[in-house]
A and B are shown apart, each in its own frame.
Chain A
């Protein structure tokens, strides 16, 4: 393709910023902008405008989600259910209901002597209440290598069911946690953050409707948001080639079905802006996953934001 003029670039600048130009046009515009600060500035302004469009046109959905959340926050909390002992028929029924809501489960084993202890979430996510036709939950990947190590002494706690176990590795071997953290940040400055901990997780997605659904992970807005909170939680911007969806582009969910995809590292965010998460200190943490993607159902496609339950984690 021939080099483009400023006028030609300006004509296409919003479509370019929206990622809607074909590959030759996109390459030509990129080439032009490397030597033209004026067009590079115009592109930056076009992105700001598209951001404003997103903020404005998503406002009704976002406001409604917040209002639902406020209502859920003020609703009386269900009584907590102990996880020990034999399940009575009533408890089995309650647990089954909770599993439908939360599809909870997980605990983590660190092979270097750091144990992790998980309990069921105390609160139910509001977005699940509002959108219970589609739910997500993190689960241990039982088929993963090393999963038989799950029932480690650190997890031999009578409050933890062995079914709530998963495995991952932390990269702090032989280092103080302070140095580990500092090394991570140094690596991030050099533009190549150390890969985050390996995990054996499944993100399970449940379609409770009688319509098939298709989650479009190939859409640039698709995001897998992981939130780690705790004393040594560290979030770093990941490199562009880190894919939170592990190459998965389309996720088909037949009617009334549950499917899962693997999460092998604590990589969240979108393909445009991946995010790495680490825990770098012993202590209590919480891990939560929120899946955001356009979802096709029938003739309708709309952005959905589906939150899984927060998982309490203890790192020793």
Chain B
């Protein structure tokens, strides 16, 4: 019999993952990668840490699933893992910056709020998607080079044969355009 709801499908995948099925856990990862990374981004406030913490969250979740019973609510449980990962990271930073001030542990009962919060965070990325989809291909390529490949404007200019001033102007205009697209949703978290 096929699962009837998303929650049931998710639970079925979690049970398969708990039995060691990596494909099932990869499906869960694809579903929850964006909300989890958005959730972590809000907490640590640094894009360069998001990948590591998100990866640690999913790998720890996979390991825990294989070592114990599948949780009743996978997503709530997953965000509990993510919150603990962030807590550990922030406490480590506290040691330097705010010694003596403990970062409080989030209680497990708050996990459902985490899910709502994460979905809200992920909407920023969805809104950005909508803005990116409206861009012409060459502008999208410029952003891919800048943010995905990490090229500087000089490197992009050399690779595309366009003047560096043109690249900078186009980049500045595109940033403004995308920010205007996001503006109605208020300030970034």
Contacts and interface: CB of A to CB of B under 8 A. Distances in A.
B159 A52 contact: no
B148 A62 contact: no
A188 interface: yes
Contacts, number: 151
B147 A189 contact: no
Contact of A48 (B55, B93, B128, B188): B188
A52 B124 contact: yes
A144 interface: no
B112 interface: no
B29 A294 contact: no
B147 A70 contact: no
Given A11-B172, A56-B128, A73 B62 contact: yes
B55 A69 contact: yes
B148 A55 contact: no
Nearest to B28: A70
B92 interface: yes
A234 to B, nearest CB: 8
Interface string A168-206: 000000000000000001001100000000000000000
Contact of B96 (A54, A216, A236, A299): A236
Nearest to A68: B26
Given A15-B171, A185-B95, A188-B96, A59 B62 contact: no
Contacts of B178: 49, 53
A57 B148 contact: yes
Contact of B147 (A19, A46, A57, A235): A57
B73 interface: no
A237 interface: yes
A52 B125 contact: yes
A70 B62 contact: yes
Given A20-B152, A51-B46, A71-B22, A63 B128 contact: no
Contacts of B128: 52-53, 56
A71 B11 CA distance: 20
Interface in A52-98: 52-59, 61-63, 65-67, 69-71, 73-74
A303 B176 CA distance: 25
A270 to B, nearest CB: 7
B177 to A, nearest CB: 11
Nearest to B30: A63
B152 A219 contact: yes
A49 B188 contact: yes
Contacts of A48: 188
B106 interface: no
B151 A54 contact: no
A14 B175 contact: yes
Interface string B132-167: 100000000001111111111101000100000000
Interface in A273-316: 273, 293-294, 299, 301-303, 305
B96 A55 contact: no
Contacts of B143: 53, 57
Given A52-B124, A58-B147, A63-B33, A74 B20 contact: yes
Contact of A301 (B51, B52, B59, B149): B149
A142 interface: no
Nearest to A63: B33
A294 B20 CA distance: 35
25 contacts: A14-B179, A15-B171, A18-B171, A48-B188, A49-B178, A53-B178, A55-B41, A57-B143, A62-B51, A63-B29, A63-B30, A66-B54, A70-B22, A70-B59, A73-B22, A185-B95, A189-B99, A219-B152, A221-B150, A234-B95, A235-B92, A237-B97, A294-B151, A302-B150, A305-B51
Q: Which 3 A-B pairs have the closest CB atoms?
A: A74-B22, A14-B175, A57-B147
Interface of B: 20, 22, 25-26, 29-30, 33-34, 37-38, 41, 45-48, 50-52, 54-55, 58-59, 62-63, 92-93, 95-97, 99, 124-125, 128-129, 132, 143-153, 155, 159, 168, 171-172, 175-176, 178-179, 182, 187-188
